[in-house]
Structure 1
Amino acid sequence: MNIVLHDYWRSSAAYRIRICLNLKRVTYRSMPVNLLANEQASDDNRTINPQGLVPTLVVDGHPLVQSLAIIDWLDANFADPPMVAKDPFERSGQLARALVIAADIHPIDNLRVLKRLETQFGADQAARDAWYRHWIAEGLGALEVMARDKPASGPFLGGETPDIADVCLVPQLYNARRVGMSLEPYPTLIAAETASLALPAVQAAAPDRVRPA
């Protein structure tokens, strides 16, 4: 199976996929797409990703888009370790925690949204960072409660092993620190992140480890 990840080193959505690929020990090749140079909008990238975004996982010539959909495909084809449970209630909780980040926090803090704040409303860097921190805090506050109340025991959001929500959490907290956000109010999330970052597979996916020279 020939697997190519169209990737940007600091994209949190692409970071999720690198973590998942590494946890599942899937061999892949990285194809960098420089978001700051607007390479995501190129005809080549739009051919495989009509939204002009990253990540795209191309499997034997078949492009897969949207990070959670890609993770779902990976789970179907590389079962160990599972990112979502088979039990319907457990699965629903895992997806809900992941979607707090992937559907509620990340889309309105995305690069294209931040650029729009600047071009349409004249937001400077300080204003964009304040916007970014506000929406992260909104989501993480809820996620902290959801994580404390999860039924499974263990250090990860998924309990004894990382799940789809942990895969989303690590990149989101990385981004939070980039904009100088205090994470002190979220001890449960920090504990889950610490457990994930102790894993070599997660360490190898870190932006500073994959940044092009």
Structure 2
Amino acid sequence: MAELLRLYSYWRSSAAYRVRIGLNLKGLRYELIPMHLVRDGGQQHQPEYARLNPQRMVPTLMHGGRVMRQSLSILEYLDESWPERPLLPATARDRARVRALSQLVAADIHPLDNLRVRRYFEEEWGVPPVERDAWMRHWIAEGFQALETLLADDLATGTYCHGEAPGMADCCLVPQVYSARRFGLDMSAWPTITRIEQACMALPAFGQASPEQQPDAPQAQAASA
């Protein structure tokens, strides 16, 4: 019997969203364990979870008794453990390109607009929401400008970030576009990013991973009440 996959996730976490997409693209079944990052002071700070993930962040993936942390590391683990429907290309050169696109989002854009940054602005510095959101839009736009250039000027870009099959870079791009729209960013300046995101969202693997489809989303909880 295959060992159970369990994903600790928060419905609106971009990093958890990436992993949900990757699991879906792989066709892997998993148990989703919601971790509310705001309620009760943040459930990720509870001692039991902090022992699993000392960073007190999501996602965390459990594969049997093994613990995986950090979204890109988890995606690569999935690719190496279940090589069918690969998230990374076959050649070293192409893998380097996809990793660079993925890290542009995960390492350069996302850390500047995540929940920890927003809460620090509000709780420690008293930054008004309008100024906080302007910060978010600025840094997302800076990153998207570079990402748009890299995608638009490379023949390796196809229907998706790399070629004609969705992969790790698309797992990163789609949640970041979702976040950009959440903060009111006009996406018309980046037509290649928008085109790829629309192609991805036409696939069930992406739609089923979207925040509003998660069991801990407010809409889902209201519907089940």
TM-score w.r.t. length of structure 1: 0.97
Q: What are the residue-to-residue correspondences of 1:16-31 with 2, within 5 Å?
A: 16-31=18-33
2:102 aligned with 1:98: yes
Alpha-carbon shift at residue 186 of structure 1 (Å) = 0.5
Q: Residue deviations 1:18-77, cap 9 Å, x none?
A: 000000000100000000110011111111111000000001021100000000100001
Q: Deviations over 1:65-105 (max 9, x none)?
A: 00000001000011122111231111111111111100001
Separation in structure 2 between the aligned mates of residue 119 and residue 11 of structure 1, nearest angstrom: 20
Q: CA deviation at 1:166?
A: 0.5
Relative to 1, partners in 2 of residues 1:35 and 1:153: Cα closer, same or farther, differing over 3 Å?
closer
State the Cα distance separating 1:149 from its structure 2 match. Answer: 2.1
Offset at 1:153? 4.7
- Give the corresponding residue for 2:14: 12
CA distance in 2, matches of 1:158, 1:75: 16
Aligned positions of 1:70-81 closer than 5 A: 70-81=74-85
SS in 2 for 1:184: helix
What secondary structure, in the 3-state scheme, does the structure 2 residue paired with 1:6 have? strand
Misfit runs of 4+, over 4 Å: none
What is the aligned partner in structure 1 of residue 143 from structure 2? Answer: 139
Bigger drift between 187-196 and 83-92 goes to 83-92
Aligned-residue CA RMSD (Å): 1.0
Shift in Å, 1:128: 1.1
Query: Do the aligned residues in 1 keep the contact of 2:11 with 2:211 (CA within 8 Å)?
Result: yes
State how far apart, in whole Å, the 2-side matches of 1:66 and 1:131 are: 24
The separation in 1 between residues aligned to 2:157 and 2:75, in whole angstroms, is 23
Paired with 2:23 and 2:4, the residues of 1 have a C-alpha distance of 13
1:208 has 2:196 as partner: no
One of 50, 55, 77 as aligned partner of 2:54: 50
Q: CA deviation at 1:154?
A: 2.0
Query: Normalised by the size of structure 2, how large is the TM-score?
Result: 0.92
Cα distance between partner residues in 2 of 1:3 and 1:207: 20
| Alpha-carbon distance in structure 2 between the residues aligned to 1:134 and 1:80 | 38
Deviation larger for 40-49 or 20-29: 40-49
Letter in 2 for 1:4: R
